[in-house]
Amino acid sequence: MTIVIPRTSTFDAWPIERQKYNLRGLRSYFEGERLFLEIESQDGEEIRFDDEVGLPEAPAGAPPSKASPASKLAQRLAEMHRQALANPGQRQTFTLPGGLRIDLVAGLDGYIRILIARQGVYPSESEWQTVLAHFPYRPPTGVAAERIQHQGWFAMRAGWPSPDAQPAAGA
């Protein structure tokens, strides 16, 4: 049997796909701005992506297909970013189904601050990179995560000047 999974599967969907098809990740890596994950089936099944199996062609005269919408994670981060900018200093929080919590604050000082956290264990570097890759804009080069612990939460956080920051009064 060949397992066919969507190439555009989001970070949110990975646990579902992994469990459904008994998959495991071998390694993750970046090429430019894209994150890649090598996977294998623990049952020895062949894995193919949906765009590799030859989808049926659209009937003649059919309208062209629309580009797929942004992932749910990208949509959620964009909404959090909009809310943070509209409410400076107020934390925007969202928890993904797998337990990863994301906090975002647009500071009064013009900085964007992001934190990802889990209870009992640090988020992985690939989770950090995935969140940044789905952020509404590309964070500045060299943004490094700081690891912190607080009341059973293990977190990675960073901040950078917001390109959307309004100049301070009197500046």
Q: With respect to residue 129, please indicate whether it lies within any of the assigned structural domains.
A: yes
Residue 135 pLDDT exceeds 80: yes
The CATH number linked to 145 is 3.40.1720
Give the pLDDT mean for 37-62.
62
80 and 47 in a common domain: no
101 and 30 in a common domain: no
Containing domain of residue 35, as a range? Answer: 2-52
Q: With respect to residue 105, please indicate whether it lies within any of the assigned structural domains.
A: yes
> Model confidence over 63-73: pLDDT tens digits?
444 434 568 88
> Model confidence over 38-48: pLDDT tens digits?
777 777 777 77
Q: End-to-end CA distance of the chain, in Å?
A: 65
Q: With respect to residue 166, please indicate whether it lies within any of the assigned structural domains.
A: no
128 and 96 in a common domain: yes
Residue 117 pLDDT exceeds 70: yes
86 and 33 in a common domain: no
Instruction: Look at the chain and report how many structural domains it folds into.
Output: 2
136 and 81 in a common domain: yes
Residues in CB range of 108: below 8 A, 6 or more apart: 88, 89
In this prediction, residue 11 has a pLDDT band, given cuts at 50, 70 and 90, of low
